[in-house]
């Protein structure tokens, strides 16, 4: 994704890659040379904003996915969240969150189901079963 851009989910987002490392789905920034090559002809780091699950975006899931270099809003002031779940059922399986800024996953509502999912950090809020 390009710098400071993101996705708004109002419905279901299903991202299902395959198990092998090279067959995973990668959400990352255009500046990440590790995936997709050097597409911006620069070696600087940049971040996309976030994936926001609006309320009732149920049946969403990530499986065999990497989520990298997210979390930074374009105004620099809005909350820094790579994944923002608002009262939605979102499942994570075999997901790694890497090099994100701010919250990896920010939850308003029930905790997401997490299976074999690795974080550098997690700060769920109002996450109650
Ligand atoms: Ca680059």
DSSP string, the chain: --TT--EEESS--EEE--SSGGGSEEE--TT-TTTT--TTS---------EEE-TT--SEEEEEEEEES----TTS-S--EEEEEES--EEEEEEEEES--SEEEEEEBSPPEEES-B-S----SSB--
What was the pLDDT predicted at 105?
93
What was the pLDDT predicted at 126?
61
User: How many whole angstroms from 34 Cα to the centroid of ligand 1?
Assistant: 9
User: How many whole angstroms from 35 Cα to the centroid of ligand 1?
Assistant: 10
pTM, two decimals, is 0.91
What was the pLDDT predicted at 40?
84
User: How many whole angstroms from 36 Cα to the centroid of ligand 1?
Assistant: 9
User: How many whole angstroms from 38 Cα to the centroid of ligand 1?
Assistant: 4
User: How many whole angstroms from 17 Cα to the centroid of ligand 1?
Assistant: 24
What was the pLDDT predicted at 128?
62
What was the pLDDT predicted at 76?
85
User: How many whole angstroms from 3 Cα to the centroid of ligand 1?
Assistant: 12
> Per-residue pLDDT for the chain (129 aa), expressed as one digit of tens each?
888 899 999 999 999 999 988 899 999 999 999 998 998 888 899 999 999 999 999 999 999 999 999 999 989 899 999 999 999 999 999 999 999 999 999 999 988 999 999 988 777 666 765
């Amino acid at each position: 994704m390009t710098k400071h851009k993101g996705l708004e989910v109002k419905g279901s987002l299903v991202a299902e890659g395959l198990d092998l490392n090279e067959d995973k789905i990668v959400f990352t920034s255009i500046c990440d040379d590790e995936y997709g090559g050097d597409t911006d002809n620069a070696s600087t780091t940049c971040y996309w904003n976030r994936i926001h699950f609006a309320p009732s975006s149920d049946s969403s899931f990530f499986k065999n996915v990497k989520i990298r270099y997210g979390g930074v809003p374009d105004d620099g002031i809005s909350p820094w969240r790579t994944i923002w779940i608002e009262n939605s059922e979102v499942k994570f399986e075999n997901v790694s969150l890497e090099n994100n800024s701010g919250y990896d996953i920010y939850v308003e509502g029930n905790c997401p189901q997490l299976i074999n999912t690795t974080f550098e950090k997690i700060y769920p809020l109002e996450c109650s079963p």
